[in-house]
Amino acid sequence: METIISPSILSADFANLERDIKLVAQAGAKWVHIDVMDGHFVPNITIGAPVVSSLRKVTDLILDVHLMISDPKKYVKDFIDAGSDIITFHYEAQSELTLDIINEIKSAGKLAGLSIKPKTPANVIEKFIPYLDMVLIMTVEPGFGGQKFMHDCVSKISDIKEYARLCGKDDLYIQVDGGINDVTAKVCTRMGANSLVAGSYIFGSSDITQAVCSLIE
Ligand code: DX5
Ligand code: ZN
């Protein structure tokens, strides 16, 4: 599977999101990663469904929405209606509702992703893999861009890849998010990641095209 780059607009210029999304599209990105934070699940507040809805009108890129919120069950419909293509939520948020939320996303015709924070082991989500389109392994504590990559999360990539193989889901997207640059990207893709989120590395670069290309081996 070709490696998919999903630039995170958390590090873009919030006053110029349309311009910055067009820049990453010109650089060859097919997805754009949108970090939704509620100030409760994570200690930061970013953007909500109205912004996703506005971005839907100005780009055809796949909207890869990462919900870092405490009550995904309550808000998932808003993000479906806003035109998200992929909706990823956190296992830690409402673990008992995980399958319900996956089903709601999938029955709306969207792709469903499930994410785990650095301290959550991969095995707790193994049973959901048959129902999922994507697993997102956080390689920093969620909440902020520009943090240092946590190498001890890397083994979870191969755990998830093995669980996917065991249930015949070779097309599962295995995404990593946090501290991704040209060096850590290779560490992750060699372990089996096929979707890389990068915020500060891409938007902090003076050559966005070169930055996007450098993440693909
Ligand atoms: C962090 C977010 C990330 C963030 C990554 O909680 O989920 O998507 O934008 O930023 P970098 O690539 O700068 O680590
Ligand atoms: Zn993210």
Pairing of the two strands 173-177 and 195-198: parallel
Q: CA-CA distance, 193 to 158, in Å (whole number)?
A: 8
- Look at residue 1 in the predicted model and tell me its pLDDT: 83
Q: CA-CA distance, 20 to 24, in Å (whole number)?
A: 7
Q: Which of 35, 38, 133, 159 is catalytic?
A: 35
65, 54 in Cβ contact below 8 A? no
Q: Which domains does the chain have, with CATH numbers?
A: 4-214 (3.20.20.70)
87, 107 in Cβ contact below 8 A? no
Residues bordering ligand 2, an ion, CB closer than 5 Å: 35, 66, 177
Instruction: For residue 178, report the distance from its CA to the centre of ligand 2, in Å.
Output: 7
The helix/strand/coil state of 24 is helix
Cα-Cα-Cα-Cα torsion 196, 201, 202, 208, nearest 10 degrees, comes to -130
Instruction: For residue 165, report the distance from its CA to the centre of ligand 2, in Å.
Output: 25
Q: CA-CA distance, 10 to 36, in Å (whole number)?
A: 9
Q: Which of 20, 38, 159, 177 is catalytic?
A: 177
- What is the DSSP-derived secondary structure letter of residue 161? H
User: Which pair of tokens denotes residue 211?
Assistant: 């930055």
User: CB under 6 Å to ligand 1: residues?
Assistant: 8, 10-11, 33, 35, 66, 140, 142-143, 145-147, 177-180, 197-201
Report residues of the chain scoring pLDDT below 50.
Answer: none
User: Which pair of tokens denotes residue 54?
Assistant: 């506005």
Q: CA-CA distance, 132 to 128, in Å (whole number)?
A: 6
Tell me the per-residue pLDDT of 92-139, one tens digit each, with 9 for 90 and over: 999 999 999 999 999 999 999 999 999 999 999 999 999 999 999 999
